[in-house]
Amino acid sequence: MAEIIVALDLPAGAEALALLDRLPEARWVKVGSILMTREGPPLVRALVGRGLRVFLDLKWHDIPNTVAGAVSSARTLGVSMATVHVLGGKAMLEAAVAASAGELALVGVTVLTSLDHAALHEIGIDLDSGRHVLKLAALARDCGLDGIVCSAIEAPSMRAAFGPGFALVTPGIRPAGSAKDDQARITTPEAAARAGADYLVIGRPITGAPDPVAALAEINRTLGHPA
């Protein structure tokens, strides 16, 4: 059953913690560049201390030694899952896996869900997004990563190619009727789950909703999660 990761893309840690006070059913949370830059490790420790599983989405893409050091730091903070850019290459990915020591899951960022074919062409990638994701996912798998971040649109082909043991983390999730915002390749939660996604990263449809509690409850209902 697909897990929901509540993306805490909020301006401040106090705001994020106040939201979580209202969402006791949340099990996973995403900390990205906004909150990590503002609040740093103390926020991660606070979230772990609440019994939450933290998905640290900093998309590391640097020389192998630097990325390995970042992964080690995340491991000591109690992070459960973190992202690296597959475009960092084999040496970087293998260094990250070694630094994880099997204590946190590493998933590789393939193609951002804000990018469509035209945007990929602008940066010199002439493969369509599906074929490009497949190529990067194969490299991630071969380097020992636990899975990838991809659009749920690509999830069926990823699942067919790599089987059930390769985690698929899918952002760009928008319940029916929600605003598209700055996402290009979006899917509803139920469609993403049917497509084989393991984790659904959902931010603004919950955090920006007039009633975040009701919004999360409705998403859980559509996924068939217990109330």
Letter string b/e over residues 119-138, b meaning 16 or more CB atoms within 10 A of that residue's CB? ebeeeebeeebbebbbebbe
Catalytic (active-site) positions: 59
Per-residue pLDDT tens for 39-78? 999 999 999 999 999 999 999 999 999 999 999 999 999 9
State residue 53 phi and psi, 5-degree precision: -95, 125
Give the residue extent of every domain in the chain: 3-223
Q: In sequence order, which residues have a C-beta less than 8 Å from that of residue 144 and are 6 or more positions away? A: 93, 94, 97
- Give the pLDDT mean for 97-107: 97
Q: Tell me the whole-structure pTM to 2 decimals.
A: 0.90
pLDDT of residue 182: 47
Question: pLDDT band at residue 126, thresholds of 50, 70 and 90?
Answer: low
- Is residue 91 predicted with pLDDT exceeding 90? yes
**Can you give the pLDDT at residue 116?**
65
3-state secondary structure of 36: helix
Q: What CATH code would you report for 3-223?
A: 3.20.20.70
Distance of CA 83 to the CA centre of its chain: 7
How buried is 202 (Cβ within 10 angstroms: 0-12 exposed, 13-18 middle, 19+ buried)?
buried
